[in-house]
A and B are shown apart, each in its own frame.
Chain A
Amino acid sequence: MKKYRKVMLPFIIISAIFQTGCWDSKALENLNIPIAAGYEIVENTVTNKREMEVYSVIPVFYKKAPEKYIVDITRGDLTGKTRVKRMNHLSEKLSLGSFQIAILGNELSKKGAGDVLDILTRTPEMKSTIPIAIADCDIKDIFQFAPDNYPNVGIYLDALFENAFKKSYIPVSDVYHFNLALNTKGWHAIAPMIRVQGNKIVINKYGIFKEDKMVYDITIPETQILYLLSGNPSMGIWTYDVVLDGLPCTVSVEMNNKTKITVKKEEGTYRIYLIINCKGKIVEIVPNENLESMDKFDEGKLDKFKKEELLKDIEKGYKNYIKSNAKALINKAQNEFEMDIFNWVKFAQAKWRKDIDDLNWDECFTKADIVIDINATINLVGEKI
């Protein structure tokens, strides 16, 4: 056996390299059929008791089966009880290791999702990177949705979240992040809300939690600002209006943003300093006045945008756009929600954990002074002069 040991490693590496020709990492992951599960609280009209309704998308592997998956709906007093009840009517084995998507019902999210999260984290077979979302419509509509080009709704949702979290400039929401925010003092968990819209399922808005209950929701553009202000390094495309040399234009820029957050205690109140550093490039500039009749558009005017002073105007426009949106969201959080939805408490906890644990941070946040400073560098790059 010893003499084969040296040969084994190169053999494994070479065979792995050859296998990538047939199956790339994406294809290999797609071979694993994701199971989606949904949880909702419903009222039993006979007993007048609240029950847990669990939805699961389970693949069927029989060639001649008319449907390639089953949507199972099982009711029980508790989530655990539905596991036993499911076996009474379902012949397919539910493999918890393949569990990839978790959807919480709207009613359950409002009443308290702590118990379901406890089960999702307690079960050893389940990983903590399962994306989590809230149903913004009847959860049944989501699970009974038949996507056009995907084998089942589980695969559709898996692809949707993977791309959305990477490219849509919105916060990652998985069991780990959600549970961390839910169980950390002063933090507020957020999760995307999805709904069926025509022949698609869309991420509609984000739900904000206080302890384990969803109390508010914000729009997707607001969520993008929230993500930026929370201190997460983020990349994305922003579109805003700006007047360039007297010409009203719409500009799209691809930016890398990073916010530095510092919390200071000054004269009994907290002051939060945000320094937003942004660097990126212009994606497109469209003059607004020519949107209706692009044929008449004078191409020569675009030359003006290459001038340095116009780039400065684009940067200034970006700063104003981010600042005004950031101020609007902070104002909403301080006066309407009265909650630190940005979880800036962690920067205060890092300095004065014991003191912060003893006080109501949300109250301190509503009275806090917030100072925003933005640095933006935008370049004109690309293959065309």
Chain B
Amino acid sequence: MKTPLNKFLMAAVTTSFSYTGFEYLFILYPFVKNKKGALKYSIAANTIGVLTYGYVTIMCTIILGPYLIKQFVWPTVTVLKTVDVPVIERLEFIFILLWVGIGVRPLTNQHFEVSYFLMQVMNIKKFKNAAIPPVIRSTIIAAIPQSISETFKYSNYVGILGMGIGVILPVLLLFLSLFFKRSKQK
């Protein structure tokens, strides 16, 4: 509890990438049928994310300790390596198999949103045609980082950008709506 606030904020920048995704709501919101319940469910979804990350962080710190945890790239996988399960032997491989299924979902959501955005902006009629460029873009971007540390460096930038869009954009839109409302009233 003696850790200064600025260190928490510095850590928040690094972890921000994990929380990116809530800004998709700007695109997804028009598709929502039950708009009254949208706020409640989106807060609940984010709370589940926060609690899961919190739980994993606490467990990893308990098992690996504050010194050893810093040495591992993926402490959650390392924690699973410390468990000996009879017959199965390697628990982390099962976890990775499950994670692949879960990890693909944000990727498909992102591609859907980018494709939808392209359809709207570039006036593309067929969704199929709009879906190809994001896949090419992702493949090219995936080939750029030469190491894991470089990938993390880029993911930090994306995290900051995501936070920027997620926080600044709604505030900006709010001000714009207030401004246009007033000018309309005049």
Interfacial residues, chain A to chain B (CB-CB below 8 A):
25, 28-29, 32, 97, 121, 127-129, 176, 179-180, 183-185, 353-354
Q: What B residues does A127 contact at CB under 8 A? A: 81, 84, 89-90
B42 at the interface (CB under 8 A from A): no
Evaluate contact between A28 and B87: CB separation under 8 angstroms.
yes
A-B contact pairs, 9 of them (CB 8 A): A28-B87, A121-B71, A127-B81, A128-B78, A129-B82, A179-B68, A183-B68, A184-B65, A354-B2
Does B81 lie within 8 Å of A180, measured CB to CB?
A: no
Residues of B in contact (CB 8 Å), total 16
Instruction: For A183, list chain B residues within 8 Å (CB).
Output: 65, 67-68, 71
- A180 and B64: CB pair below 8 A? yes
Please, how many angstroms separate the alpha-carbon atoms of A29 and B71 in the complex?
31
| Set of chain B residues within 8 Å of A354, measured between Cβ atoms | 2
Residues of chain B at the chain A interface (Cβ within 8 Å): 2, 64-68, 71, 78, 81-84, 86-87, 89-90
- Nearest residue (CB) in A for B93 is A97
Asked if B68 and A129 sit within 8 Å, CB to CB, the answer is no
Which one of A28, A32, A176, A185 contacts B67 once the chains associate, using CB atoms below 8 Å?
A185
In the complex, chain B residues whose CB is within 8 Å of the CB of A353: 66
Could you tell me if A184 and B67 are in contact, using CB atoms closer than 8 angstroms?
yes
The residues of A that contact B71 with a CB separation of less than 8 Å are: 121, 183
Q: Contacts A128-B78, A129-B81 known; A25 to B87 CB distance under 8 Å?
A: yes
Q: In the complex the two chains form, is A128's CB within 8 Å of B82's CB?
A: yes
The contact of A180 among B68, B84, B87, B89, by CB within 8 Å, is B68
Q: What separation, in Å, do the CA atoms of A32 and B84 have in the docked complex?
A: 14
A318 to B63, CA, bound (A): 34
Q: Which residue of the partner chain B has the closest CB to A162? A: B84
Q: Write the nearest CB–CB distance from B170 to chain A, whole angstroms.
A: 39
What is the bound-complex CA distance between A129 and B67, given in angstroms?
Answer: 19
A160 shortest CB reach to chain B, Å: 16
Provide the residues of chain B in CB contact with A32, threshold 8 Å: 89
Residue of B nearest to A125 (CB): B90
Closest to B74 in A: A124
Interchain nearest-CB distance for A293 vs B (Å)? 48
Instruction: Known pairs A29-B87, A128-B82, A129-B81; list 17 more (Cβ under 8 Å).
Output: A28-B87, A29-B86, A29-B89, A97-B90, A121-B71, A127-B81, A128-B81, A129-B82, A129-B84, A176-B81, A176-B82, A180-B65, A183-B71, A184-B65, A185-B67, A353-B66, A354-B2
